[in-house]
Copies of this chain bind each other. A is one copy, B any other.
């Protein structure tokens, strides 16, 4: 498939703007074909006008049609085969094996939402039947379910060119809920984005859905992103990326005449607390798994563990040295694009020069190092220095981690207290550790969306019980996840029908419950039709 380099506006391709750019291969520094056209202001506005127009028809689709559409996108991605993988590799330097696995995750997500929509209980249907004989006032018939919120703007992430980009979890969950999507491609992988967007565009057409439910715009300027957030038809925003960019989108959304929710997943330092007994028992093993987790994908994961906290003793010294040796021995990796590597490089240098912070070990730069190569590193410091330097609590996006030695259980708790909100907190602890540090666990639980006992936080399972979110600044809204089936809850709102005629009600709320979904009827969860339930008290 030859890339056209344009923006996708529903059924059309638009490239009316003068500003263009090219993708760059981070492994070689070479520019790639073709030229991509940044969306103009008018093109960006048009995507949301189309979405608004298409919303009414899309939100009325039966669940089966939406599921078929999600399945068609999944099949279309797979059908692209090597073409998609090769382009994604050229644009991101992510290895083929990783991209294959990411594609697997992406199609799994699409199919998971298709299954969720087919099953149907996610709408949280609640029915309180009328009681016309109630005094002093009759009780009305109330039927409530979740309905789509409206056009959703999705910002592609640089670090997951498939699973958190054009056809990633945000798009899949927004579509599943019945919303149109306008996707903004990340400028580091415009070709991968176009391929994915054209798969969606074709799926919309093949499924006979209104073409306006999907558009994709290219571009790198913040103004373009902000204009999408500010468009009056935009009802919600999904974003994965930096704190700075995520906060800018959040602020723009909050300042709208009519504010809208922004679900920005902005990463965190994902601390690992290694308690003394566990460290003695499994320090060597932990160093192995941690070294892999820190350097996985050149450290470019939201859940990369960027902080390891323990009690400063001989075991921690050994652990730190082992971790240093392992990470120092890894091959230098190529980061996603020059900008991200430059930011990592400068934060690496800054940390090297930070008072009371030691560089334990780092990978040697290869000769002729490209400007996208990153040195993996282990830094170390003491609790008091960590507590006094807020910069050490900020995310360093790349293959590095910081080991903090505490002088006491009290300092462990102080370090825990000092942390911002996190996507994950991991505790390595024996039963005895958990007993001896119950207070620490109480603190950590309030800081995070996911609390791991053992293991490493990278590798976010796509599952109903997953929560990939956390208190600010991990995300802008700790109440929602961007991974797993619950991600659909970001893009819906409840609608309550009072005394509606059966004919007018959606299938999910009619007496007969033809879809057989779980519903809360008069306070009891049931899959039964209403005729088969004992009538309400009269």
B interface footprint on A418-460 (CB within 8 Å = 1, 0 otherwise)? 0011000000000100100000011001101111111100010
In the complex, what's the smallest C-beta–C-beta distance from A453 to chain B, in angstroms?
5
Q: Does A215 contact B (CB under 8 A)?
A: no
Q: Does A21 contact B (CB under 8 A)?
A: no
CB <8 Å contact, A453 and B523? no
Chain B CB within 8 A of A369 CB: no
A109-B467 Cα distance, complex, nearest whole Å: 30
Please determine whether A472 and B259 come into contact, CB atoms closer than 8 angstroms.
yes
**A499 CB-CB contact with B under 8 Å:** yes
> Which residues of B sit under 8 angstroms from A455, Cβ to Cβ?
140, 498-499
Contact between B449 and A501 (Cβ–Cβ < 8 Å)?
no
Complex CA gap A137/B136 in Å reads 61
Known pairs A140-B461, A144-B465 / 9 extra A-B pairs, C-beta < 8 Å: A121-B525, A143-B465, A258-B471, A259-B476, A450-B496, A451-B496, A465-B520, A467-B495, A478-B493
Q: Which residues of B contact A101 (CB under 8 A)?
A: 136
Ordered by A's residue number, 30 sampled pairs between the chains whose C-beta atoms are within 8 Å are A121-B525, A126-B464, A137-B459, A140-B455, A143-B465, A144-B465, A144-B486, A149-B479, A250-B254, A251-B254, A258-B420, A258-B421, A258-B471, A431-B501, A431-B503, A449-B493, A450-B496, A450-B497, A451-B500, A452-B498, A452-B499, A453-B498, A453-B499, A454-B499, A455-B498, A455-B499, A465-B520, A467-B495, A479-B492, A481-B494
List B contacts of A441 (CB < 8 A): 504
Report the count of interface residues on A (CB-CB < 8 A): 73
A518 within 8 A of B: yes
Contact of B467 with A496 in the complex, beta carbons under 8 Å: yes
Whether A515 is near chain B, meaning CB under 8 Å from some CB there, is no
Query: CA A266 – CA B139 in complex, angstroms?
Result: 25
Q: Does A463 contact B (CB under 8 A)?
A: yes
CA distance A442 to B58 in the complex (A): 12
Closest beta carbon of chain B to A525's beta carbon, Å: 6
The answer to whether A142 touches B258, judged by C-beta atoms less than 8 angstroms apart, is: no
A463 interface neighbour in B142, B454, B469, B476, Cβ under 8 Å: B142
Task: Give complex CA distance A496, B453 in Å.
Answer: 11
Give Cα A471 to B219, complex, Å.
Answer: 31
Residues on the B chain within 8 Å of A126, using CB: 464-465, 486
